[in-house]
Chain A
Amino acid sequence: MKTVEHCSNITATFCDLTDVWEVLSETYAVTVDGFRGNTTLVTCFIDFFLATHISLEPPEFDIVDFTDHINVHVNFPPVMPKILDGKVLQFYLPLIIEEQSGGIVKKHNPTLDENVTGNFTYVIDNLLPNTNYCVSVYFKHRNLEEIHRSPVKCTLLPPAQDTGSSESAKIGGIITMFLIAAVFISTILILKRVGYICLRNDFPKVLNFHNMSSWVFPEMPPLEAVAFVEVIHINRKKKVWNYSYDDESDSNDEAAAPLTNTGGYTKHGLVGGLLGPTSASSATWEDRLEPDTEERDLSEPEADTDPLMALGTNPGGSECTSGAYEGRGKLLQDPFSKEDSSSTEGSGDKIIFNVNLSSVFVSALDDDDSEAPPASPSFPEETYNLEDSHRLETSFLEARGEGTQPPFPTPSAECPWPEVVLSDISDSSESGVDTGDGYIMR
């Protein structure tokens, strides 16, 4: 134990032992005895480890403000305790300079020399002119949480004259530019409203640059294969297939059949001359490929009166088993194949056309004006071959294929059979073809 001389026999309640401390690493135990006369009244003992209990009062400092920086002059005591060297201060008691402005605190940790004595100047730079800054200095103790700060010193930095003038000039220039641009734009708008300037929104196509690529690189026209075409003019007379029973219709061969297309089906109006003695007579046929009864409406009025086709096997020409098919009945046109040479006699009366009778339904086209229906002879039914008629009916039914009312043969004296020669006749139909006197049956 060592007695501190300058702290012995004192009446003060405190004593400075700073110079007594030698080594920071040691633990110092201090005993304080209080006497009254020769009587010991109190004995106090305490120990402490300086490294973890050392603290320093904040030093005094001054600040000098400039436009954009502040100089902080820290006043250290002339003699530092020997226990506090540079290394100790740097680690155990680092000096902190706080700079505060606008609620933002910035701490600076200046590096101190080992032998720190006298004044110490630290520069806080990169500051904003014309701004208020507050500075505080203290030693930050590593062990203690409380910080003993020095009194805060605040200052308002002077405005930067040079930078201010340049900035004001810049601001003025920018404002001027904005004003000029505003005036210019407003002038244009006014002129446009007045009509002095007409600004078109719809540009001509030439000026349409949306499809720039196509404009710059125009699309080449597709290469077209050019082939030489030889145009052959064929003069053809329009054939009118007019199966009328008038003599005036001698030009039946050349008459063109009216061709109508309805629903994918082709209607051919068959116009041709009649076989037999009255070969000049002709009947108007309407060859229908489409078994639709509705399409018969066109030929209904005509079909009522004209006898149509040979329905019986009666070889006799007098008995016409064909009758006028009234109403809406479909008629299956038996192939009017004319193998006789009579077909070749009157070429003008012969009409040759290719018809697939398996899909052809022929209906009679009544022509009231064109022909005078011949007086139908009395036609005894007994002469009617029931067997053949029955077969005919079945054949009609087969050919028709639909539930249309089978045509009933009605007698007529002279059947104005058109002399229709079918060049291409189906085999099935050829088997039953019997070209009698204009009668064709299957």
Chain B
Amino acid sequence: MSTKPDVIRKCLQSACLVGLLVTGILSLDCNLLHFHLRKVTWQNLRLLSSTSSSFPVECLRETKAFELPQEILSHTQPAKRYIKEAFYEMSIQAFNIFSQYTFTSTWEKDYLKQIQIGLDQQLQYLEQCLEEEEKEKEDSKELEEDGMNWSGALVPQLSNLELRRYFNRIDNFLKEKKYSHCAWEIIRVEIRRCFYYFQKFAALLRKK
């Protein structure tokens, strides 16, 4: 009987994984944030496209336009902080939506778990970088009392509201359709589309 060594081995494995995760998060460099965001977003895109079943024909009649915010759709160069905040909002909302998904099959469960893990990592990375920016802003707050900073600070708040409203529409659609299979398929397609635009959005972080 070798229960104790197995238990110890499992504990060690989980401890190692946790340690690697913690060190990985702690050692994240905010200058490489855009690489991480693009990578995670692309991964989620692929996962959402890897479902075995195709889109049901009968669900074509129930499709709906959820109106992704124009700031996300446009290719203008917004402030970098806004991009990060938008990513943060999107990650939280998508995570919450996928948490409500009722798994009908095993492969769907595995795919959605991976998506949620990716979103969680993205959130932690963004939190760290946003906190660093907050500290830098507080240090330079006394020096800069420019009105543009205040106006710039308002823009992200409005865009985040639009983004939040977008995800509220998605959530309401699910509730109206009572979390039916067609509703979930329509939402899956919509969120995949959202991820695509956010991936292009992340490329703007690289530009100065």
Indicate whether A and B interact. yes
CB of A45 within 8 A of CB of B49, answer: no
A49 within 8 A of partner (CB)? yes
Which residues on A sit within 8 Å (CB–CB) of B42?
A: 142
Which residues on B sit within 8 Å (CB–CB) of A109?
A: none
B141 within 8 A of partner (CB)? no
Which residues on A sit within 8 Å (CB–CB) of B193?
A: 25-27
Report the nearest B residue to A26, measured CB to CB. B193
A46 within 8 A of partner (CB)? yes
- Of B24-32, B52-60, B94-102, B108-116, the one contacting chain A is B52-60
Secondary structure at chain B's binding surface: helix, strand, loop or mixed? helix
B84 within 8 A of partner (CB)? no
Q: A29, A91, A142: which contacts B60 (Cβ < 8 A)?
A: A29
Secondary structure at chain A's binding surface: helix, strand, loop or mixed? mixed
CB of A52 within 8 A of CB of B45, answer: yes
CB of B46 within 8 A of CB of A31, answer: no
Which residues on B sit within 8 Å (CB–CB) of A399?
A: none
Give the number of residues in B that approach A within 8 Å (Cβ atoms): 15
CB of A49 within 8 A of CB of B49, answer: yes
B12 within 8 A of partner (CB)? no
CB of A45 within 8 A of CB of B196, answer: no
A53 within 8 A of partner (CB)? yes
Which residues on B sit within 8 Å (CB–CB) of A24?
A: 196
CB of A46 within 8 A of CB of B196, answer: no
CB distance from A69 to the nearest CB of B (A): 31
Interface residues of B in 147-163 (CB under 8 A from A): none
Scoring B residues 15 to 51 as 1 if CB is less than 8 Å from chain A, else 0, what string do you get? 0000000000000000000000000001001100100
The complex places the Cα of A45 from the Cα of B54 at a distance, in Å, of: 8
The complex places the Cα of A87 from the Cα of B204 at a distance, in Å, of: 12
CB of B46 within 8 A of CB of A143, answer: yes
CB of B57 within 8 A of CB of A52, answer: no
CB distance from B162 to the nearest CB of A (A): 18
Report the nearest B residue to A50, measured CB to CB. B196
Q: A29, A51, A87, A143: which contacts B196 (Cβ < 8 A)?
A: A51
Which residues on A sit within 8 Å (CB–CB) of B55?
A: 27, 29, 47
CB of A53 within 8 A of CB of B196, answer: no
The complex places the Cα of A29 from the Cα of B63 at a distance, in Å, of: 12
Q: B192, B197, B200: which contacts A49 (Cβ < 8 A)?
A: B192
The complex places the Cα of A91 from the Cα of B38 at a distance, in Å, of: 11
CB of A27 within 8 A of CB of B46, answer: no
CB distance from B69 to the nearest CB of A (A): 14
CB distance from B195 to the nearest CB of A (A): 9
Interface residues of B in 122-158 (CB under 8 A from A): none
Report the nearest A residue to B192, measured CB to CB. A49
CB of B192 within 8 A of CB of A45, answer: no
Which residues on A sit within 8 Å (CB–CB) of B203?
A: 91
CB of A46 within 8 A of CB of B49, answer: no
CB distance from A397 to the nearest CB of B (A): 90
B contact residues vs A (CB 8 Å cutoff): 42, 45-46, 49, 54-55, 57, 60, 189, 192-193, 196-197, 200, 203
Q: What are 22 residue pairs bridging A and B, where the CB atoms are less than 8 Å apart in the complex?
A: A24-B196, A25-B193, A25-B196, A25-B197, A27-B55, A27-B189, A27-B192, A27-B193, A29-B55, A29-B57, A31-B57, A49-B45, A49-B192, A51-B196, A52-B45, A52-B46, A53-B49, A87-B200, A91-B203, A142-B42, A143-B46, A143-B49
Known: A27-B189, A47-B55. 13 other contacts (CB 8 A): A24-B196, A25-B197, A26-B193, A27-B55, A29-B55, A29-B57, A45-B57, A49-B49, A51-B196, A87-B200, A142-B42, A143-B46, A143-B49
